[in-house]
A and B are shown apart, each in its own frame.
Chain A
Amino acid sequence: MIQYHKGTVIPPDPSATLSGRGILSKVPEHGSDACCPRPPAGPTGQTLSARKSYRDQSFVGEVSSAVGPVPRLSIRLTLRDRWGGLKVRLGLKRNQYAVDPGLYAVGQPDRQAPVLVTANYKLSLDALRSELSGLDAWILVLDTNGVNVWCAAGKGTFATDELVHRLTTTHLDQIVSHRRLVLPQLGASGVAGHAIRQRTGFRVIWGPVRASDLKAFLKNPKNPSPTMRRISFTLRERMILIPMEISAALKPGAWATGAVIIIALIVGMLGKGTLPSVVGLMMLGAAAGGLGIIGGTVLAPILLPWLPGKAFAVKGASIGLAAAGLGHLILYPPMAAGLGVALALLTVATSSFLAMNFTGATPFTSPSGVEKEMRRAIPAQVMTMGIGTIGWLVAVWTG
């Protein structure tokens, strides 16, 4: 079993090198704390070395360096890499997709080769290495508990202390003759470039936001194009987040469905409702909620730039209203006006709340703005949801 732990380079097992692949170790149980890691407490070395083991990153051979062999990463993603990436995009085992931190190589780096720094979220490392064809570089992977660069920087794990610690344990100063580190720009909220220089002598060069711009950046690091510096949120970038949004909405959605069934049965039995009428109203309630989920997690992300308002709750409510209208046009049977309005309110409230949660996935919302939006939106959402629920229950009661 090969394990690259804590940045020390251990010569790989010859049998594994022959097969050209690393070995998948037991996937560690991180639990949900991997989502929001706390900054390592106390002396970095101690906390980090006391921590769990990670999934081994597969490699292709090794590169020799002044301090021993360094595992070399392929720049091609395997089927398993792609499958793993697909699963985390769907929200499955997203908190356990971490690789061992430490030093890796791509191509045949020498003492002059650039050093690229990234996080130990496997999706991040895969995104990086797959953009490096034809490049010889060292890749320094920091321990961020398997969280991507940006979030880890915000939460204090892609941080100055961890970078200093990782530089020490990998003996990078002996491996390269220069003193430059290329960091992803989105790591800047966690790493202070000037502090790295003072503490280690290495100079931090802020690379582009996206790994796909790295090769162009390295050719001309003095004059990166403004688009390399600017975070984007294109249709494609928004759509790739949709499965995760749906996945996150499913669990509360299942609870809500259960509650709807139980409440409808009780209210229906107490009131004048017949079983078919109660079941029919259950399905209408579920459909209204379902339309809200589609509005808030699918349509709102897609249509984000074009939906009215700045607040996501407003955007979600407006697309929810459209979804409710569409429901009445093509999905629902004819019904009393009161019930129709109640179903629409349920859809609008659900969509508004879920769209508001999408703030966390976007690169342009600010915490003070989100808090301001929520202080106004949540009472309105609760009220809308409450009125909608009462209207629906009245229909269940009267049958």
Chain B
Amino acid sequence: MREMTYLPGVRTLTYDASRCNGCRTCTLVCPQSVFTMEGRQARVHNRDRCMECGACARNCEQQALTVQPGVGCAAYVIQTWIKGKDAACCGDIGCC
């Protein structure tokens, strides 16, 4: 199976390695295997696989990770342009 990746170089993921306590949680929750463990520390192994779901940031007790989470959905983005972020809904288009 060919690996599918999306546009490179745009992810909002940040990682502060000095805060990492080596708990491995980010490697467990990331559905795209963005992180690997290097000894007692996590490492961002493949940033461009990140889909900005926010699972790692939410589950990092040390707050070493941040990401602007959101939905990678064109129909949703159109809604945020038209109605603003709070009123946006996927509506009839097939996401969520």
A247 to B50, CA, bound (A): 29
The size of the chain B interface, using a CB distance under 8 A, is 50
Chain A neighbourhood of B88, CB < 8 A: 36
Report how many A-B pairs have Cβ atoms within 8 Å. 171
Cβ–Cβ contact B6 & A364, under 8 A: yes
Within 8 A of B (CB), among A179-236: 185-186, 188-194, 206, 209, 226, 229-234
A6 to B28, CA, bound (A): 30
Cβ–Cβ contact B7 & A369, under 8 A: yes
A245 to B56, CA, bound (A): 30
Chain A neighbourhood of B12, CB < 8 A: 368
Chain B neighbourhood of A186, CB < 8 A: 31, 55
A362 to B29, CA, bound (A): 18
CB distance from A341 to the nearest CB of B (A): 26
Q: Is B33 an interface residue (CB 8 A)?
A: yes
Cβ–Cβ contact A310 & B51, under 8 A: no
Cβ–Cβ contact B6 & A366, under 8 A: yes
Mostly helix, strand, loop or mixed at chain A's interface?
helix
Of A54-62, A134-142, A353-361, the one touching chain B: A353-361
Q: Is A290 an interface residue (CB 8 A)?
A: no
Cβ–Cβ contact A370 & B77, under 8 A: yes
Mostly helix, strand, loop or mixed at chain B's interface?
loop
On whether A364 and B51 interact (CB within 8 A), knowing A229-B28, A356-B74, A357-B75, the answer reads yes
CB distance from B35 to the nearest CB of A (A): 11
A148 to chain B: closest residue by CB: B96
Cβ–Cβ contact B92 & A251, under 8 A: yes
Cβ–Cβ contact B2 & A305, under 8 A: yes
Chain B neighbourhood of A154, CB < 8 A: 53-54, 69-71, 96
**Most chain B Cβ neighbours within 10 Å, of A191, A356, A357:** A357
CB distance from A159 to the nearest CB of B (A): 10
Taken residue by residue from 1 to 40, chain B's Cβ proximity to chain A (1 for < 8 Å, 0 otherwise) reads as: 1111111101110000000000001011111110000000
Cβ–Cβ contact A35 & B96, under 8 A: yes
A245 to B7, CA, bound (A): 22
Chain A neighbourhood of B59, CB < 8 A: 188, 191-194
Taken residue by residue from 107 to 149, chain A's Cβ proximity to chain B (1 for < 8 Å, 0 otherwise) reads as: 0000000000000000000000000000000000000000110
Name the one of A155, A245, A363 contacting B31, with C-beta atoms under 8 angstroms: A363
Cβ–Cβ contact A360 & B31, under 8 A: no
Chain A neighbourhood of B94, CB < 8 A: 91, 241, 244-245, 247-248, 357-358, 360-361
The size of the chain A interface, using a CB distance under 8 A, is 61
Q: Is A365 an interface residue (CB 8 A)?
A: yes
A359 to B71, CA, bound (A): 9
Cβ–Cβ contact A368 & B96, under 8 A: no
Taken residue by residue from 41 to 52, chain B's Cβ proximity to chain A (1 for < 8 Å, 0 otherwise) reads as: 000000001111
Chain A neighbourhood of B73, CB < 8 A: 357, 359-361, 365, 367, 370
Chain B neighbourhood of A194, CB < 8 A: 25, 59, 61
Name the one of B8, B25, B32, B52 contacting A310, with C-beta atoms under 8 angstroms: B8
Cβ–Cβ contact B72 & A369, under 8 A: yes
Q: Is A93 an interface residue (CB 8 A)?
A: no
Query: Assuming A154-B53, A232-B1, what are 11 further A-B pairs, CB within 8 angstroms?
Result: A32-B91, A154-B70, A186-B55, A226-B33, A305-B1, A357-B94, A359-B74, A360-B90, A361-B94, A363-B51, A372-B7
Interface residues of B (CB under 8 A from A): 1-8, 10-12, 25, 27-33, 49-56, 58-59, 61, 68-78, 88-96
Interface residues of A (CB under 8 A from B): 32-33, 35-36, 91, 147-148, 150-151, 153-155, 185-186, 188-194, 206, 209, 226, 229-234, 241, 244-245, 247-248, 251, 304-306, 310-312, 356-374
List the 4 shortest-distance A-B pairs measured between CB atoms, nearest first: A360-B73, A360-B95, A367-B70, A365-B72
